[in-house]
Amino acid sequence: MAIFPGLPGFEAAVVVNGLVCAEHSPPDDMNDDEPKLVTTYIEATPGAKFAIHIWVRPETIALWNYDLCVWVRVDGQIVGKPLWRRKKGGRVKPRIVLGVEEKSGSSWTRRDLIFCNLNKGKMINKELREKVAKLGQITVEFFRCVIKRKKADLQGYGWNDGVDTVPEKALKGKALSHATSLSETATVVPAPCRYTSDHIDGRNDPYATICFQYRSLNDLKAEMIIPRSPSPIPLAERTPTTLEEALEVIRIQREQASNIQQENIRMKRERASSPPSIHEDNEDLSIIEPTPKRRRVTDTIDLTDD
C-alpha cells in the first residue's frame, strides 16, 4: 500500500482478485526530487481486472480546514473523482474505483478496468506521443477544495480506446508492454452523485500524488526494479542432489567420452589414408655452403747457374 511518510492519512492501493498488488520501490530514489509525489511499481498481468482503493484517514491534516477531491487517472484518462467532506472527516474504509461509469439513455453502467497487452507498430504522431508518455500509469491526485453544490446534468467521464498500437520509437527505450482497457460487458449501477468544487491550490497543483507504474514481470526486470533471475548452473558444474540428477551427470559424461573416442578414431583414419607430406615450420633456416678445398701449389726452383 502506497503511503506518504510526510503526509499521514493519504493512502492508495491497486487490488487484483481481492489482493493488494505487491509494490516495488523505484530506482535511483525517484521520490526524493518530488516531496509531494510517491511513486511505486506493481506487476500487471494481461486479462486481470483491477480496482483502485483510496484512503483518507481521520488523522489527515488537510481535512481540518478543507474538503478533499481525488482525481484518479489510468493511462492519463480520468476514471473517478471521489470526495471527502471536512465535516465528516476521514474514514477507515476506502473509496473504490472499479471502472468507468457511462450514461446510456436514462441509466448508468460501469465497465471494469482490465490490464491488456500493448501492441507495437510503426506510425507515430504528436497526439500519440503525448498519450504514450502516460501509458502504464495509475495516478491518484489529492486536491484541497471547497465543495459547492450538487451537479444536475451528469455525463460520463468517457474513455478513449484509441491507444492500442504504439510504435517502438515512441517508447524511447522504456520497457512497456502493457496498457489498460475496459471490459466488454457492462454492469448496471446507480446514478452517481457529483458536486462542483473550488480548488484551493489550483487544478494543476495537487496537494499530494500517488503514482503506480504498472509493468509486466519481464519489464520490471528489464528496468531493474526487481532482480533478474540468475542463470541456472549447468548440472555438470554442481553437486547432484537427487538420484535422477546423478544419473543425468553420468549419462552426460558417457556421451562426452563417446564423442571424444569417435573423434580420435576419425582422426586416425584420416592420417592413415593421407600421403606423407612435408610440414614446414616457422624456424629460421641458415644455408651453409661447403668451404672450398685449398689447392696445393707446387713451387719450381731453378738450380742452374746463369
* pLDDT above 90 for 137: yes
- Please, which pLDDT band fits residue 287 given cuts at 50, 70 and 90? very low
* pLDDT above 50 for 80: yes
Cβ neighbours for 229, distance < 8 A, ≥ 6 positions apart: 221
Residue 230 lies in a domain: no
Most confident of 29-38, 109-118, 126-135, 153-162: 109-118
A 10 A CB-CB count for 287 gives 4
* pLDDT above 90 for 179: no
Residue 45 lies in a domain: yes
- Please, which pLDDT band fits residue 54 given cuts at 50, 70 and 90? very high
| Domain termination residue (choose one: 222, 254, 289) | 222
**Residue 160 carries which side chain, given as an amino acid letter?**
N
Question: What does the pLDDT average to over 89-103?
Answer: 87
- Please, which pLDDT band fits residue 285 given cuts at 50, 70 and 90? very low
Is residue 40 located within the same domain as residue 177? yes
Question: What does the pLDDT average to over 60-85?
Answer: 91
* pLDDT above 90 for 12: yes
Is residue 151 located within the same domain as residue 253? no
Segments in 100-182 forming alpha helices (H) = 126-132, 168-171
Question: For residue 20, what are the CA distances in angstroms to 14, 23, 123, 241, 252?
Answer: 6, 9, 37, 37, 46
Is residue 64 located within the same domain as residue 204? yes
Residue 290 lies in a domain: no
Q: Per-residue pLDDT tens for 219-269? A: 888 888 887 666 666 655 666 566 666 677 677 777 877 777 787 777 777
Contact 88, 82 (CB under 8 A): no
Is residue 214 located within the same domain as residue 246? no
How high is the pLDDT of residue 133? 75
Is residue 121 located within the same domain as residue 255? no
Is residue 131 located within the same domain as residue 242? no
Of the candidates 173, 170, 175, 162, the one whose C-alpha atom is nearest the C-alpha of residue 122 is 170
Q: How many domains does the chain have?
A: 2
Of the candidates 108, 62, 119, the one whose C-alpha atom is nearest the C-alpha of residue 85 is 62
The CA-based angle 81-145-64, given to 5 degrees, is 115
Question: What does the pLDDT average to over 189-211?
Answer: 90
DSSP three-state, residue 78: strand
- Please, which pLDDT band fits residue 170 given cuts at 50, 70 and 90? low
Question: For residue 303, what are the CA distances in angstroms to 196, 198, 298, 300, 306?
Answer: 155, 152, 16, 10, 9
Is residue 150 located within the same domain as residue 245? no
Element (H, E) at 256: helix 243-273
Is residue 91 located within the same domain as residue 192? yes
Find the largest Cα–Cα distance for the chain: 165
Q: Which residue range(s) make up the domain with 42?
A: 2-222
How far is residue 99's CA from residue 280's CA, in Å, rounded to a whole number?
A: 82
Query: Which carries the bigger pLDDT value, residue 153 or residue 32?
Result: 153
The mean pLDDT of the chain is: 78
Is residue 14 located within the same domain as residue 120? yes
Beta strands (DSSP E) in 176-286 are 178-182, 187-189, 195-199, 208-215
Residue 306 lies in a domain: no
How high is the pLDDT of residue 69? 93
* pLDDT above 90 for 192: no
Residue 66 lies in a domain: yes
Cell reading at 269: 583414419
How far is residue 170's CA from residue 178's CA, in Å, rounded to a whole number?
A: 14
Q: Per-residue pLDDT tens for 106-136? A: 899 999 999 988 776 555 555 666 677 788 8
- Please, which pLDDT band fits residue 51 given cuts at 50, 70 and 90? very high
Positive or negative CA dihedral for 122, 128, 132, 138?
A: negative
